[in-house]
Amino acid sequence: MLVKPETRIFNSPPLPSSSASETLQSLLSAHLQLPAEYQDQLTSHLPMALQAPHSLGASAERMQAFYAAYAKRFDGMHTAAAAQPVADWRSLRG
């Protein structure tokens, strides 16, 4: 049996609003300006941490507040420079 996307099963959360979906996409794009790691090489899980409440029906305002609180971990940090291609990768072997 196929279930239509708009069909809610059991007590599933409400579908995210279009405003929340637009906010999610905006925050995910903004996240690309943050470093991938913080403190002592801890990896940022911000994309997953935004997707979860969005999937549970969080409002755009709630996701923005979460992003602002999580992004404080990166205060004073800069994104890493883009990696440059290596002409002779064999020279990098140990």
* Tens digits of residue pLDDT in 42-80: 889 999 999 999 988 899 999 999 999 999 988 888 776
> Which two three-digit tokens encode residue 15?
């579908």
Dihedrals phi, psi of 51, to nearest 5 degrees: -65, -40
User: What digits encode the pLDDT tens for the residues 6-41?
Assistant: 665 566 666 667 888 999 999 999 988 888 888 888
Q: Can you give the pTM of this predicted structure?
A: 0.66
CA-wise closest residue to 12 among 21, 20, 3, 22: 3
